[in-house]
Structure formats: structure tokens, C-alpha cells
Amino acid sequence: MHTTRSGRESSRMAAKMNLKEFNLIVAGVGGQGSVLASHIVAEAAVKKGFRVRVGETFGAAQRGGKVHSHVRIGDDIHGPLCPSRSLDVLLGLEPNETLRLALKYANEETLIITNTRPVPSMDANIGADTYPDVSQLIEALKRLTGNVVPFDATELAVEAGNERTMNVVLLGALAASGRLPLGAEFLREAVLSSVPPRTVQVNEAAFNLGHDQL
């Protein structure tokens, strides 16, 4: 009978850093880059020697469906899914999706960093449901936790030079929050090394604009 598990080596290294469990969810809509954002964080954490799991949940739609990606780092984690109310950070790329995930996974201590720019759903478009007022969404988030950082990340991405860098704007804010078990500079390097070479400049600008929000 054996008790050894694979991945021991990484566990030991993580234990040295005294990290038991860090839970992050990146929530958004298909096509916004939430999976990429979560993988950048996860890859960086592997480089630091941590034990890492990433779980992705998305519907059948290729585009426009709800997507959330769980990133878990630390010695005590096994599976790819965060338990409810266990989040250290919720990174929201779309405010309605931020609230959807916050309801299940946030607790009073959770830091919620969210884009305030809505992406209407098909259900809202055809009048089957109503898209909530953004200010009400933010108020709802504030009833769940005292740590809510809302801003228009899409606007900042446009300012940086490309609307599609919105996910990187939010990663900049995440780095500045100090909650991640990785240094801000380490995450910046991870972002810049994983984007196409010709977009490094615009992504760096996006990262910095996000970083300045906290």
C-alpha cells in the first residue's frame, strides 16, 4: 500500500512558501479572454514552484456564453473547483457575470475586482429577461463583501490602445492588490511573455492602467 501522490515535489516547494490554499475565479463571457487570463496566473504560479489547478466551466456556445475559470494555488488543494464561499479574489470581466459567481463563491473577505462594462445577453436582447442596472449590480456586490473594486476596464483597454486587452487591465489590478501569492512584477513579466510579441507595448500599457486602479 502506498501513500505517495504524484506532484509531491511541487507540494513541498509550496509548503516552504507557507501557502495552504489560494482561490481565484475569473468570470466573464466567451471571447473576453477569461481563460487566457487565468492561465497566465496559473503558469506564473507553476514557475514559482506552487502546486496549481485550473478548472474551466463554460457552456456549449463558442462565443457569448458564460465562462468562468477557477485558479487554485497551494499545498492543500487537490481538485480544480473552488468550494463555495472560498474565494480570495474574484476577477470579473463582465459585471452581471461577476455577481452570478460572487453569489456562490464570495465571502465577506473576498476581494472583487470587476469591469463595469456590460455585455448584454441574448435573453435580454429578445426581452426574455432584463439586464440589471450596473450601479445596482455593484451595490449588490458590496452587500456580499466590503472589498469591491469596480471600474470600466474596457475604457482603460481602449485607452491603452486595444479593447481586447481588457483582461490584462484586470490582471494589472490583480497584481496591485497584493492578494496574489506572486509579486506584481512577476505577474507583469508573465503577462508580457505570454502575449504576441507585437502586442507587448499595448498590453504593458493596459497592465499599468489596471495596476493604477488600486
Binding site for another protein (CB under 8 A): 1-7, 9-10, 29, 39, 42-43, 46, 49-57, 59-66, 76-85, 96-97, 99-100, 103-105, 120-132, 136-137, 140, 143-144, 163
Task: Name the minimum Å distance from CB 143 to another protein.
Answer: 6
Task: Name the minimum Å distance from CB 95 to another protein.
Answer: 10
Question: How many CB atoms sit inside 10 A of residue 80's CB?
Answer: 15
When the beta carbons of 58 and 208 are compared against another protein, the nearer one is: 58
Task: Name the minimum Å distance from CB 212 to another protein.
Answer: 25
Task: Name the minimum Å distance from CB 183 to another protein.
Answer: 19
When the beta carbons of 70 and 188 are compared against another protein, the nearer one is: 70
When the beta carbons of 67 and 91 are compared against another protein, the nearer one is: 67
Alpha carbon distance 14, 23 (integer Å): 15
Taking the mean position of all CA atoms in its chain, how far away is CA 117?
A: 16
Residue matched to cell numbers 504560479? 45
Burial of 123 (0-12, 13-18, 19+ CB in 10 A): exposed
Dump the DSSP string for 137-163: HHHHHHHH-SEEEEE-HHHHHHHHT-G
